[in-house]
């Protein structure tokens, strides 16, 4: 895969390999040095050494071969199946499971579980997503729990993908956020894309912004330290809800990536993971044309945090945020 980018203004001169290892977190420094030696990473169209100093305005081209597993096998991982027919499967994904295989997570993923499920049940799975993402028409982050739909045929995949693209899918999320939004409801409109300095994050600081919008409603205030909100995404960008709530000044509890260490505990309450749950998913069934909608309440870990916040928070008390 070939990518190209320009070193931004304000960047201090440093070795090419040092600059890249801070930018490409998924590739080790030794691997980057080998790619530079092979000429797969070029500076201003020139083959250079790893020790070459970069400066603002330099153009870096990277031709990084995509690592692939030898094979993806089914694994006997339990699935919470809510609905299944010959076209699709709807499940309630627990937090802690990655949606599909990728570097660092070739096993133990939702796809591994799905392959085993269909191998043992005799069902099919759509192939449009390729060998790494069969059946996946959308996904949830590793720490996000909630409802997902899996397509079993290519026809169903195309039909649901079109609904996601047109934003006609009904999606409602629940989240616990740090602090309390001033407005009880609102619309967050912020164009986001991959962050220019940290490729693992998404933000408004990007070279390829994509319009995105999220409605929110505050449904419960825990003093001044936290709040429970319902989220209605109008678009489906990567990390959209997490980035939008952070832009509002209220990152999701447990979201170390966007909120830092401060959002991982409130007083004596430890937050075990990103407190985000895909509560409701609704769509037109690709074969019958009927509206299907599925809702599941938050899992035990999130329910426990909510109960602890309820017990620890006294209405009207002026508590400080950590």
Tell me the per-residue pLDDT of 191-202, one tens digit each, with 9 for 90 and over: 999 888 887 899
Name 315's Cβ contacts closer than 8 Å, sequence gap at least 6: 223
Contact status, residue 157 vs residue 128, Cβ threshold 8 Å: yes
Catalytic residue selected from 26, 45, 63, 141 = 141
Same CATH topology for 81-165 and 170-312: the answer is: yes
Proportion of the chain above pLDDT 70, given as a percent: 95
Please state the pTM of the whole predicted model.
0.78
φ, ψ at 63 (rounded to 5°): -115, 90
Query: Can you name the CATH fold of 170-312?
Result: Pseudouridine synthase (3.30.2350)
* 81-165 is a CATH 2.40.37.10 domain: no
Residue 141 is a catalytic residue: yes
Q: How do residues 118-154 score in pLDDT, each as one tens digit? A: 999 888 999 888 878 899 999 999 999 999 999 999 9
Q: What residues does each domain of the chain span?
A: 2-63, 81-165, 170-312
CATH topology of domain 2-63: 3.10.290
């Amino acid at each position: 895969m070939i990518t190209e980018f320009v070193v931004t203004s304000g960047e201090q001169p440093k070795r090419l390999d040092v600059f890249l290892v801070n930018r490409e977190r998924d590739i080790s420094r030794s691997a980057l040095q080998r790619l530079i030696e092979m000429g797969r990473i070029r500076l201003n169209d020139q083959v250079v050494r790893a020790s070459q100093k970069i400066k603002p305005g330099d153009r870096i081209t990277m031709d990084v071969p995509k690592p692939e597993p030898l094979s993806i096998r089914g694994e006997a991982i339990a699935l919470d199946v809510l609905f299944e027919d010959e076209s699709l499967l709807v499940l309630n994904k627990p937090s802690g499971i990655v949606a599909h295989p990728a570097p660092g997570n070739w096993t133990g993923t939702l796809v591994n579980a799905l392959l085993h499920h269909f191998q043992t049940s005799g069902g099919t799975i759509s192939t449009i997503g390729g060998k790494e993402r069969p059946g996946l028409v959308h996904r949830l982050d590793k720490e996000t729990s909630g409802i997902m739909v899996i397509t079993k045929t290519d026809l169903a995949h195309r039909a649901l993908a079109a609904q996601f693209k047109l934003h006609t899918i009904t999606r409602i999320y629940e989240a616990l956020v740090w602090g309390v939004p001033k407005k009880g409801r609102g619309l967050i409109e912020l164009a986001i894309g991959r962050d220019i300095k940290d490729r693992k994050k998404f933000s408004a600081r990007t070279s390829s912004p994509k319009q995105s919008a999220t409605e929110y409603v505050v449904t419960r205030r825990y003093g001044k330290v936290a709040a429970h909100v319902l989220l209605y995404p109008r678009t489906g960008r990567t990390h959209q809800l997490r980035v939008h709530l952070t832009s509002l000044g209220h990152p999701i509890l447990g979201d170390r990536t966007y909120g830092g260490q401060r959002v991982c505990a409130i007083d004596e309450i430890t937050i075990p993971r990103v407190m985000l749950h895909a509560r409701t998913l609704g769509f037109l069934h690709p074969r019958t044309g009927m509206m299907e909608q599925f809702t599941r309440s938050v899992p035990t870990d999130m329910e426990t945090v909510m109960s602890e916040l309820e017990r620890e928070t006294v209405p009207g008390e002026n508590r400080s945020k950590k």
